[in-house]
Amino acid sequence: MSKVLVAPSILSADFNHLLDDIKKVEEAGADWLHFDVMDGHFVPNISFGIPVLKCIAHSHKMVNDVHIMISDPFKYAPEFIKAGAEYLTFHYEACKSDKEVFQVIDLIHDYGAKAGLSIKPGTPLEKVFPFLYSLDLVLIMSVEPGFGGQKYIPESFTKIFRLKEYLESHEIKKCLIEVDGGINEETAKNAKLAGVDVLVAGSYLFGHDDIKERIEKLR
Ligand code: DX5
Ligand code: ZN
């Protein structure tokens, strides 16, 4: 079984020393950098956007894994890719129809990035099935999107497990499974057992002196 990838979420970073924190997780062995965009409309919080991504995207060698928790992803996707997003993950619930989901996926590919689709805890897994042949990643939210430091929702195991089963039974090889929210040493075991490929972790990593050990514990 290939090693799980670790994607620190900078939502939990120290914004007085953002670049230092990014270097710390990179030197500690992180694979991706998870960039949580919140618009205060799709989710009840506002984080950061395109100017910040532009500033940091090329300041490290990790993969820029951008998670847009925003309304109207079709409108903003190109700007996030031009700013440095390599994976751009939008929300199923932010689209009005399956047709719109396909349009956003195609747009992301047209701009040269990999397309991810995320579902909230309350959205049934079956909603992503029609898109799996087109997607590069599915992001399973294991907390209600909007804030770091929340508790992992245990039912996420079943969603990851069933998604893995579906991908394998349909021989869909290129679509990765990422989990996001409440990931720590314990919950990472649960998600890995279910078949996850990428672990997002914010508060478990940032603000601690033993980031390298923590990343190794996640793996
Ligand atoms: C929540 C974000 C998550 C969050 C993870 O809406 O999408 O990426 O920052 O933070 P922790 O790991 O602290 O739950
Ligand atoms: Zn996220």
C-alpha torsion angle, residues 57, 63, 66, 67 (rounded to 10): -150
C-alpha span between 217 and 37 (Å, rounded): 27
Relative orientation angle of helices 73-82 and 98-110, to the nearest 10 degrees: 20
> Residue 180 catalytic?
yes
- Evaluate if pTM is beyond 0.75: yes
- Which residues sit opposite 16 in a β-bridge? none
Residue type, 178: E
Q: Of 65, 79, 54, nearest to 7 (Cα)?
A: 65
Q: Of 86, 81, 70, 71, nearest to 37 (Cα)?
A: 70
Q: Report the chain's mean pLDDT, rounded to a whole number.
A: 97
Instruction: Give the tens place of pLDDT for each residue, 82-115.
Output: 999 999 999 999 999 999 999 999 999 999 999 9
Residues with CB under 6 A from ligand 1: 9, 11-12, 34, 36, 67, 69, 143, 145-150, 180-183, 200-204
Find the 102 Cα to ligand 1 centroid distance in Å. 26
Tell me the mean pLDDT in the region 7-29. 98
C-alpha span between 212 and 216 (Å, rounded): 6
Tell me the mean pLDDT in the region 134-148. 97
> Residue 197 catalytic?
no
pLDDT > 90? residue 1: no
C-alpha span between 42 and 16 (Å, rounded): 27
Which atom number of ligand 1 is nearest to the Cα of residue 144? 6
Residue 45 is predicted with a pLDDT of 97
CA angle 103, 107, 109 (to 5 degrees): 120
Find the 76 Cα to ligand 1 centroid distance in Å. 21
- Residue pair 101/117 in contact (Cβ under 8 Å)? The answer is yes
Work out the number of other CB atoms within 10 angstroms of the CB of residue 6: 25
Token couple for 107: 């747009």
DSSP code at position 52: H
Give the pLDDT band of residue 2 (cuts 50, 70, 90). confident
